[in-house]
């Protein structure tokens, strides 16, 4: 989508630009500030989809610009923007042929993208309604012929829009204008023009300048040999000024135009077919065809790799040899959808030859023209890892918000029972368990007593009272270790206070010690009415929650100041951040391990550069989350195997800003913002997003930049292979003072032991 935006206020222009980029990232926007600039731009660029103009311009107004656009006959929509209170002028603009208007008032930027899209669509539809005229440029010197032709065509072929040029110099100039093919569909040229060699002109146009517009020659009677020469030079057709030739003319022009069109289309088709074959052959995605019975008809090399079969074997297979038929007969659905709509897309569950199951994302389309029986072309790529990573990220985010909610309830209430109730609510829902209780230790008497519970049918459990060391919970507290019982019915020794939970039907059990400042202060017990088979992440989260409960209880019991409690609490989040960053690495397969490596190296650097222990905590979190902003970058860009286009770079460069927006609202991560926000700033001021220079860039980010680039370059990336260590060291040395802080580079080289040839 190509838009010319005429706006003299740079602030308004900037705001609109952002709104558009956000919702229509593929938009190409030219901004000019005055009427004159707009007119000049429209001279150079004739394929704008839309002109968006302010009504009031410093040197003119939007309505005149609208009139100008219409006079030039440009195929673009026009939308005018009026100030508040100027709606009447805007309505007048509509009457003069504007496609829509917007009023600069609160929130108008929100409706801007959709308004523009609609205006473009409406305008295109309108253009289609006025059946395509045939635009003919007619080079002719004889006034009588011009007059006759004009009148004849106006009467019998009004769809022809004739533009006449009648002096030889002007004819030459028009025909050799590089844009003649954009402005006219066909050229009609008289042979006998005074002082002009028409055949030379045709030769220049077609053979020398390779202009892509058909030329029809008009010759006098008896000059057929000239016509033949013209055809040899590439003219599309000729017509002889016999009596009645004007009646032939419209059909002849139309035919010449359609023939030229056909030739162009066929050339384009040949070009795209060979490009398509190439793409299929080298694609990383599976591309194959099959018939409506699912027999595979053709398959590209990637198919073999993705399925784990030989190409020859695949050609003997049917689709349902490898599609996994899960509940609801997916295979029939797949075929059904394509039969019904001619295309379909979604997920396929695929069984590899090795027995492994994969998830594919696919698109297909039905082809019926030009083939004996309908065939389906299917394209698919393997998104198994991506899906798993996404699920993991979603889970981690949910867990982080759970921790925050618990935190908020602790901060908001000094009443330990309220806090524990909220806590248990999160424990049962997030861990997916039926019931949980908290027992608290009364230190003086060394007994554990019920403090809060959730999910029990009866109230017996509230009576629970144990000696330290007695039963499971007593053992958990005394030995300060986790106890897990997969099946209570066969547990040895049995639950001694079983009578309290007799009618509950519990099967699995977990007991976790609550430890604060090295002391056991209670036990968290989990009960489930069927068998629990947790994964390591679940256990980690259980421990994190227990740690958090311990801190909450401790701070409530000892009435310590809330500030410190919150500080300690922050440590409980760190496990979650780490999981989060691992999941992010997973999304971009090739950076696996990158985050942990750069975090370690950054901390070593920080230590050497004298950053305090306390600041190192923030530094660590910042490094773990440095590329969290890449969550906002689509896969098609992040995983693109080649260099990025300008537009893709624009999106990629937003990742630090995106990280900033994500992290800023989380109070305890705010001090860790320096790295995610500024890690792409450069010492010489040419970085992004802020273009900070030298020591204006926070030290943490200056350190991290070196480490990140180091690790990026020694690793394979989707867009290039790894460099050798030697090359990387050379690069880093060379970038000291340009990309990097020279001091940081010095420390880095010392730390990584590359002293051999450092200056
Ligand atoms: P990344 O892959 O983690 O790279 C981090 C930084 O390391 C880059 O920041 C750049 O300063 C440095 N770096 C990485 N590879 C090269 C390289 O081949 N040559 C040089 N001279 N420096 C390199 P930068 O350039 O701001 O890029 C930010 C992110 O944008 C990259 O993170 C990557 O995700 C993406 N990206 C950059 N170039 C491309 C590309 O050509 N294709 C694709 N698909 N993504 C790219
Ligand atoms: C935190 O995540 O730091 C606690 C809640 C908040 O302050 O946003
Ligand atoms: C940080 O807070 O990210 C580290 C402190 C520093 O910039 O020195
Ligand atoms: Fe980055
Ligand atoms: Fe990185």
CATH of the domain at 727: 1.10.3210.10
Ligand nearest to the CA of 712: 1
CB of 405 within 6 A of ligand 2: the answer is: no
Query: What is the C-alpha to C-alpha distance for residues 626 and 655, in angstroms, rounded to an integer?
Result: 10
List of residues 6+ apart from 700 with CB closer than 8 A: 606, 611, 615, 618, 619, 622, 674, 675
In this structure, the answer to whether residues 122 and 156 fall within a common structural domain is no
Which is the closest atom of ligand 1 to the Cα of 720?
18
Cβ–Cβ contacts within 10 Å for residue 74, how many? Answer: 17
Distance CA 374, CA 744 (A): 65
User: Are 261 and 309 found together in one domain?
Assistant: no
Token pair in block for residue 229: 């020469």
Separation between Cα atoms, residue 98 and residue 70, nearest integer Å: 10
Out of 79, 109, 129, pick the residue that ends a domain: 129
Q: Is 672 in the pocket of ligand 3 (CB under 6 A)?
A: yes
The reply to whether 307 and 353 lie within a common domain is yes
Rg for the chain, CA atoms, rounded: 37
- Residue 15 structural domain: 2-129
Which residue owns the Cα nearest ligand 3 atom 6? 700
Locus of tokens 């056909």: 262
Q: Is the CB of 687 under 6 A from ligand 3?
A: no
Same domain assignment for residues 516 and 428 = yes
Q: What is the mean pLDDT of each run of 10 residues along the chain (759 residues)?
A: 92 87 84 95 92 93 91 89 81 82 84 85 67 86 91 80 92 92 93 91 92 91 86 90 85 83 76 73 86 90 88 89 70 85 85 84 83 85 81 70 65 64 87 93 80 89 86 92 91 76 88 88 94 88 86 63 44 64 69 84 94 90 89 83 93 91 75 95 96 96 97 90 94 97 96 61
Is 580 inside a domain boundary? no
Closest C-alpha to ligand 1, atom 2 = 712
Question: Which of the ligands is closest to the CA of residue 665?
Answer: 2
**Closest approach atom of ligand 3 to CA 699:** 7
H/E segment holding residue 95: helix 87-95
Asked if 423 contacts 453 with a C-beta cutoff of 8 angstroms, the reply is: no
Protein residue closest via CA to atom 9 of ligand 1: 680
Same domain, 368 and 394: no
- Of the candidates 139, 131, 64, the one whose C-alpha atom is nearest the C-alpha of residue 98 is 64
Question: Is the separation of the CB atoms in 227 and 272 below 8 Å?
Answer: no
Q: Dihedral sign, CA of 490, 496, 502, 507?
A: negative
Ligand 2 midpoint to CA 612 (Å):
23
Same domain, 718 and 618: yes
| Shortest-distance atom of ligand 2 to CA 666 | 8
- Quick one: which ligand is closest to 584's CA? 5
Q: Which atom of ligand 3 is nearest to the CA of 701?
A: 7
Q: What is the pLDDT of residues 321-333, one digit of tens each?
A: 888 766 655 778 8
Residue 570 lies in a domain: no
Helix (H, G, I), strand (E, B) or coil at 98: coil
Cβ of 668 less than 6 Å from ligand 2: yes
- Domain membership of residue 573 (yes or no) is no
What's residue 567's pLDDT? 45
Q: Is 617 in the pocket of ligand 3 (CB under 6 A)?
A: no
- Counting from 1 in the atom list of ligand 3, the atom nearest the Cα of 611 is 8
The residues, ordered by sequence, that sit 6+ positions from 280 with a Cβ below 8 Å of its Cβ are 287, 300
Ligand 1 geometric centre to CA of 30 (Å): 28
Percent of the chain with pLDDT over 90: 38
Task: Give the number of the ligand closest to the Cα of residue 618.
Answer: 3
The pLDDT of residue 135 = 92
Rounded CA-CA distance 653/633 in Å is 9
Nearest bound ligand to the CA of residue 596: 5
User: For the domain that residue 481 is a member of, what is the CATH number?
Assistant: 3.30.450.40
Mutate which of 633, 637, 717, 721 for ligand 1? The one with the most ligand atoms within 8 Å of its CB, which is 717
Boundary-marking domain end, from 500, 534, 552: 552
Distance 141 CA to ligand 1 centre (A): 62
Task: Clarify whether residues 353 and 249 are in a common domain.
Answer: no
Specify the pTM.
Answer: 0.38
- The answer to whether position 522 is within a domain reads yes
Q: Domain total for the chain? A: 5
591-600 CB contacts, 8 Å cutoff, 24+ apart? 591/627, 591/715, 591/717, 594/711, 594/712, 594/715, 595/623, 595/624, 595/626, 595/627, 597/711, 598/623, 598/626, 598/704, 598/707, 598/708, 598/711, 599/623, 599/624
Side-chain half-sphere exposure of 77, counting CA atoms within 13 A: 22
* Paired tokens of 501: 């939970």
CB 210 within 8 A of CB 182: no
Binding site membership of 404 for ligand 2 (Cβ less than 6 Å): yes
Q: The tokens of 737 are what?
A: 């003072």
CA of 735 to the centre of ligand 1 (A): 15
Amino acid 757: pLDDT: 47
Cβ(636) to ligand 1 under 6 A? no
By the 10 Å C-beta count (0-12 exposed, 13-18 middle, 19+ buried), 278 is classed as exposed
In contact, 286 and 298? CB cutoff 8 Å:
no
Closest CA to 184 of 122, 142, 236, 117: 236
Domain shared by 346 and 401, yes or no? no
722 CB near ligand 1 (under 6 Å): no
Question: Does 689 sit behind a cis peptide bond, omega within 30 degrees of 0 on the bond before it?
Answer: yes
All residues with CB under 5 Å from ion ligand 4: 627
Q: Is the link from the previous residue into 152 a cis peptide, with omega within 30 of 0?
A: no
Asked whether residue 583 is domain-assigned, the answer is no
Residue at a domain's end among 343, 359, 382: 382
Whether 651 is in the pocket of ligand 3, judged by its Cβ within 6 Å, is no
- Judgement on whether residues 182 and 224 belong to the same structural domain of the protein: yes
537 shares its domain with 610: no
Q: Is 92 close to ligand 1, i.e. is its CB under 6 Å away?
A: no
545 & 403 share domain: yes
In three-state secondary structure terms, 3 is: strand
Is residue 609 a part of any domain in this protein? yes
Measured from the CA of 723, which atom of ligand 1 is nearest? 18
Q: Is 148 in the pocket of ligand 2 (CB under 6 A)?
A: no
Q: Which residue minimizes the CA distance to atom 1 of ligand 3? A: 619
626 plus 736 within the same structural domain: yes
Long-range own/partner contacts, residues 164-168 (CB < 8 A, 24 or more apart): 164/138, 164/140, 165/137, 165/138, 165/139, 166/139, 166/140, 166/141, 167/141, 168/141, 168/193, 168/194, 168/195, 168/196
Q: How many residues comprise the chain?
A: 759
pLDDT of residue 159: 77
Taking the CB of residue 615, how many other CB atoms lie within 10 A of it?
Answer: 15
Asked, for residue 431, whether it belongs to a domain, the answer is: yes
Tokens of 161: 């829009």
Residue 351 belongs to a domain with what CATH number?
3.30.450.20
Measure 400 CA to ligand 2 centroid, in angstroms. 10
**Atom 5 (ligand 2) nearest CA:** 404
Residue nearest to atom 8 of ligand 1 (CA): 709
Centre of ligand 2 to C-alpha 230, Å, is 81
**Nearest ligand (C-alpha, residue 572):** 2
Task: Output the pLDDT for position 592.
Answer: 66
Is 274 domain-assigned?
no
């Amino acid at each position: 989508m190509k838009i010319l935006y005429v706006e003299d206020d740079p602030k308004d222009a900037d705001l609109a630009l952002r709104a558009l980029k956000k919702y229509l990232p593929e938009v190409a926007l030219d901004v000019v500030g005055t009427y004159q600039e707009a007119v000049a731009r429209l001279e150079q660029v004739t394929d704008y989809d839309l002109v968006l103009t302010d009504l009031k311009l410093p040197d003119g107004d939007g309505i005149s610009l609208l009139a100008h656009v219409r006079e030039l006959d440009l195929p673009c929509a026009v939308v005018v923007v009026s100030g508040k209170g100027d709606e009447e002028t805007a309505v007048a603009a509509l009457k003069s042929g504007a496609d829509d208007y917007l009023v600069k008032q609160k929130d108008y930027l929100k409706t801007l993208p959709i308004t523009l899209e609609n205006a473009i669509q409406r305008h295109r539809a309108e253009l289609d309604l006025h059946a395509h005229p045939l635009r003919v440029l007619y080079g002719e010197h004889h006034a009588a012929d011009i007059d006759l032709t004009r009148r004849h065509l106006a009467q019998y072929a009004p769809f022809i829009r004739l533009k006449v040029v009648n002096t030889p110099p002007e004819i030459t100039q028009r025909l050799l204008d590089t844009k003649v093919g954009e402005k006219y569909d066909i050229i009609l040229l008289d042979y006998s023009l005074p002082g002009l060699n028409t055949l030379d002109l045709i030769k220049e146009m077609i053979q020398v300048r390779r202009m892509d517009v058909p030329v029809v020659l008009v010759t006098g009677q008896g000059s057929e040999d000239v016509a033949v020469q013209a055809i040899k030079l590439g003219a599309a057709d000729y017509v002889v000024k016999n009596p009645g030739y004007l009646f032939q003319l419209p059909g002849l022009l139309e035919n010449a135009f359609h023939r030229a069109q056909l030739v162009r289309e066929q050339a384009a088709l040949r070009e795209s077919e060979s490009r398509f074959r190439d793409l299929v052959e080298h694609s990383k995605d599976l591309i194959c065809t099959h018939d409506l019975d699912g027999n595979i008809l053709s398959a590209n090399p990637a198919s073999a790799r993705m399925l784990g079969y030989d190409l020859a074997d695949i050609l003997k297979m049917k689709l349902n040899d490898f599609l996994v038929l899960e509940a609801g007969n997916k295979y029939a659905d797949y075929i059904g959808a394509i039969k019904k709509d001619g295309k379909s897309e979604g997920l396929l569950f695929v069984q590899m030859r090795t027995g492994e199951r994969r998830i594919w994302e696919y698109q297909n389309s039905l082809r019926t023209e030009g083939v004996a029986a309908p065939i389906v072309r299917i394209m698919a790529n393997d998104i198994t890892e991506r899906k798993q990573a996404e699920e993991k990220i979603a889970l981690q985010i949910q867990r982080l918000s759970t921790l925050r909610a618990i935190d908020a309830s602790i901060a908001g209430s000094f009443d330990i029972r309220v806090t524990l109730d909220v806590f248990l609510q999160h424990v049962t829902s997030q861990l997916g368990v039926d019931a949980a209780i908290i027992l608290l230790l009364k230190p003086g008497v060394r007994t554990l007593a019920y403090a809060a519970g959730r999910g029990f049918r009866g109230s017996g459990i509230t009576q629970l009272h144990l000696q330290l060391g007695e039963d499971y919970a007593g053992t958990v507290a005394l030995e300060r270790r986790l106890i897990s019982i997969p099946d209570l019915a066969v547990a040895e020794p049995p639950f001694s206070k079983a009578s309290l939970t007799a009618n509950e039907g519990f099967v699995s059990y977990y007991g976790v010690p609550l430890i604060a400042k090295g002391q056991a202060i209670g036990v968290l017990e989990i009960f489930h009415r069927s068998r629990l088979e947790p994964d390591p992440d679940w256990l980690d989260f259980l421990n994190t929650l227990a740690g958090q409960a311990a801190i909450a209880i401790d701070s409530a019991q000892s009435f310590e100041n809330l500030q410190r409690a919150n500080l300690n609490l922050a440590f409980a989040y760190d496990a979650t951040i780490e999981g989060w960053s691992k999941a992010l690495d997973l999304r971009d397969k090739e950076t696996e391990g990158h985050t942990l490596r750069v975090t370690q190296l950054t901390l070593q650097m920080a230590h050497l550069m004298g950053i305090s222990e306390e600041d190192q905590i923030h530094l660590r979190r910042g490094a773990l989350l440095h590329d969290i902003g890449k969550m906002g970058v689509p896969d098609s860009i992040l995983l693109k195997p080649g260099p990025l286009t300008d537009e893709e770079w624009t999106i990629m460069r937003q990742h630090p800003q995106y990280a900033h927006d994500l992290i800023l609202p989380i109070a305890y991560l705010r001090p860790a913002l320096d790295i995610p926000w500024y890690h792409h700033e450069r010492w010489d001021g040419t970085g992004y997003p802020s273009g900070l220079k030298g020591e204006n860039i926070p030290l943490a980010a200056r350190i991290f930049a070196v480490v990140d680039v180091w690790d990026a370059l020694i690793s394979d990336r989707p867009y290039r292979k790894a460099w050798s260590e030697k090359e990387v060291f050379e690069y880093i040395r060379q970038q000291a003072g340009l990309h990097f802080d020279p001091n940081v580079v010095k420390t880095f080289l010392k730390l990584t032991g590359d002293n051999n040839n450092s200056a």
